[in-house]
A and B are shown apart, each in its own frame.
Chain A
Amino acid sequence: MSMPHEDTHDGQAAFARALFGETPPAGLAPYPPEIARARFAIYRNNVASSLIKALETRFPVIERLVGEAFFKGVAHAFIKGHPPRSPVLMEYGDAFPDFLAAFPPAQSLPYLADVARIEYARGEAYRAEDAEPVPPAALAGFAEADPDTLCISLHPSLRLVASDHPAFSIWRMNQPGATPQRITAPQPETALVARPHDGVITLSLPAGEAAFIAALRQDPHFARAAETAFARDPAFEPGYALGRAVSLGLVTALDISHDNEALSGDQP
């Protein structure tokens, strides 16, 4: 059985291929070759420049780090192999960090992909589902609670970007108005990105706190997350970390759980 619109499909397939190729597609009105090229170039330029612009908007720090010309080159290579999969262009670029990691001319900048992950996470946080953070005063109501029963719900916009490189520091030093400085002792960093209210926050977490938040994203039990964080950093202070998470607006609910499997203690 043939598709109902097979001829149109084939024509559009050729047109779409030509948008990323060298010559105009067959089937245009009988223009002289140089006229056909000039006319078709409007579409080719619209597609390439609008998609490159979308990537520039999403990844301004990457553009600053590699320079405009290099960025346009890598973006052009990316859009050809990874055009958007959806008309919702604000979501475009999720594959760009991995593409940068594998892009041969960018191999001298091993941190680039993680900086791009921070930038993409900021876009995701911006458009994520809304949720009202609990007010800082809410913690007082749980001061007497058994830590083993306390459950923490994190804001749906929260993202973590763990890097073997100082990706967060590089991102921060390349904000508009900031002056990049030499990083003398590069350390791994974990960036936290969230949008508790209208603005996106981006900060770096110490190893214990990063493990704590990462654990809470998998499992809301405070005590288990604290244990995971201790294992990572013996100096981890769970009360401080929780207070900071609440004051940043990262917590949307504090609850007492009666589901005590694998936990000691009983609640009435």
Chain B
Amino acid sequence: MSRERHTPSNLPEGVGIGFKAEHFDDLLAQKPDLAFIEIHAENYMAAGGPAHRRLERLRAEFALSVHGVGLSIGGAGPLDAKHLERLATLCERYQPESFSEHLAWSSHDTAFLNDLLPLPYTEATLALICEHIDVVQTRLRRQMLLENPSTYVAFAESTLEETQFLREIVSRTGCGLLLDVNNVFVSATNHGLDPRAYLADFPMEAVGEIHLGGHDEDELPDGAPLLIDAHGSPVADPVWTLYAEVAAVAGRAPTLIEWDNDVPDFAVLMAEAERARAVLQGRRASGGRHVDAA
């Protein structure tokens, strides 16, 4: 491993939004005070076309986070070399402040399944993930951030807690973490765990970005709640409460509002961003500690 060559993930502090084409005109007309915008990498892998022209215009105005949803870092097979090259081309072209991906798998053999699928947390899967993160960071010559997942099942063979697993990945690969607070709440609820215990054990010093999104509520046949990470609604109140607690202790807290489905009016999205900004201002006022991710 040659971490010293990796450019650290370095999003500016503040609040960003997930970019949706519907909001392009509003973004350019209003030039709101956003710390960054985030895109899904796979939506910008065309050879040409209007999507690239929009992104070039936005890149000139805002810091950029490239968030991958298809690399399948947790996949048992070798990483998709072609896809890694596409990511390298994208990062080369737009020079984002940060690149992130998920603790999940989404491809098997030659099939791409288009969902963030769960994996057991064992020594074997830990070694697998670390190998893949090394390959990614070496090729992109950047530190990447890894996001904690929303999960709906647990595995019998798991021997490590998710927080232990993430801590070990950080220490072995030098990657940073993207802490999705909604995912923490969703997974804790789904597995009957305490989200505060999870957060107390989370390696906060490695956090380079925070995600906030909405979830849907469902119910299991026994009446227990089952939450679904749907990104189609406002951030839920208990997630805002956890976020304020996280913001007070996280090393860095560039915060993204994610709203990918049933995309709202720009003003609604900006109101969510404003709410996050108020929380971050509270963090500064109360002297929340600041530790550089690098």
Chain B: interface size category? 35 or more
**Contact at A11–B222, with CB atoms within 8 Å?**
no
A66 at interface, CB cutoff 8 A: no
B266 at interface, CB cutoff 8 A: no
**Contact at A198–B75, with CB atoms within 8 Å?**
no
By a CB distance below 8 angstroms, the chain A residues around B221 are 34-35, 38
**Contact at A47–B113, with CB atoms within 8 Å?**
yes
**A127 to B54, alpha carbons, bound, how many Å?**
13
By a CB distance below 8 angstroms, the chain B residues around A86 are 80, 82-83, 112
- Which of B46, B82, B114 has its CB near the most chain A CB atoms (within 10 A)? B114
**A167 to B270, alpha carbons, bound, how many Å?**
44
- Given A28-B156, A39-B153, A127-B47, decide whether A87 and B69 contact each other with a Cβ distance below 8 A: yes
Chain A residue nearest to B113 (CB atoms) is A47
Of A43, A50, A87, A126, which is within 8 A of B42 by CB? A87
**A129 to B109, alpha carbons, bound, how many Å?**
29
Chain A: interface size category? 35 or more
Q: Which of A35-56 contact B (CB under 8 A)?
A: 35-36, 38-40, 42-43, 46-47, 50-51, 54
**A8 to B54, alpha carbons, bound, how many Å?**
40
Chain B residue nearest to A19 (CB atoms) is B113
By a CB distance below 8 angstroms, the chain B residues around A27 are 120, 155-157
**Contact at A47–B114, with CB atoms within 8 Å?**
yes
**A29 to B154, alpha carbons, bound, how many Å?**
5
Chain B residue nearest to A16 (CB atoms) is B108
Q: Which of A1-17 contact B (CB under 8 A)?
A: 3-9, 11-13, 15-16
**A9 to B124, alpha carbons, bound, how many Å?**
11
**A27 to B48, alpha carbons, bound, how many Å?**
44
> B64-81 CB contact bits vs A (8 Å, 1 = yes)?
000001111001110010
For chains A and B in complex, what number of residue pairs have CB atoms within 8 angstroms? Answer: 145
**Contact at A198–B128, with CB atoms within 8 Å?**
no
**A198 to B128, alpha carbons, bound, how many Å?**
43
- Given A42-B226, A87-B71, A88-B86, decide whether A29 and B112 contact each other with a Cβ distance below 8 A: no
Q: Which of A65-119 contact B (CB under 8 A)?
A: 83-90
- Given A38-B221, A43-B115, A128-B48, decide whether A12 and B153 contact each other with a Cβ distance below 8 A: no
A30 at interface, CB cutoff 8 A: yes
> B45-61 CB contact bits vs A (8 Å, 1 = yes)?
11111111100000000
By a CB distance below 8 angstroms, the chain B residues around A88 are 42, 45, 70, 83, 86
B267 at interface, CB cutoff 8 A: no
**Contact at A12–B115, with CB atoms within 8 Å?**
no
B286 to chain A, nearest CB (A): 38
A237 at interface, CB cutoff 8 A: no
B220 at interface, CB cutoff 8 A: yes
B210 to chain A, nearest CB (A): 23
- Given A19-B113, A50-B114, decide whether A90 and B46 contact each other with a Cβ distance below 8 A: yes
**A31 to B221, alpha carbons, bound, how many Å?**
12
B105 at interface, CB cutoff 8 A: yes
A39 to chain B, nearest CB (A): 5
**A194 to B80, alpha carbons, bound, how many Å?**
31
- Which of A28, A32, A40, A54 has its CB near the most chain B CB atoms (within 10 A)? A28
B228 at interface, CB cutoff 8 A: yes
Q: Which 6 A-B pairs have the closest CB atoms?
A: A87-B70, A127-B46, A130-B48, A9-B76, A8-B76, A83-B111
* 23 A-B residue pairings within 8 Å (CB atoms): A5-B76, A5-B124, A9-B76, A9-B77, A12-B75, A19-B113, A29-B155, A30-B156, A35-B222, A38-B220, A38-B221, A42-B218, A83-B111, A84-B114, A87-B112, A88-B86, A89-B70, A126-B46, A127-B49, A128-B49, A130-B48, A156-B48, A198-B53
Q: Which residues of B contact A (CB under 8 A)?
A: 42-43, 45-53, 69-72, 75-77, 80, 82-83, 86, 105-115, 117-120, 124-125, 128, 152-158, 190, 218, 220-222, 226, 228
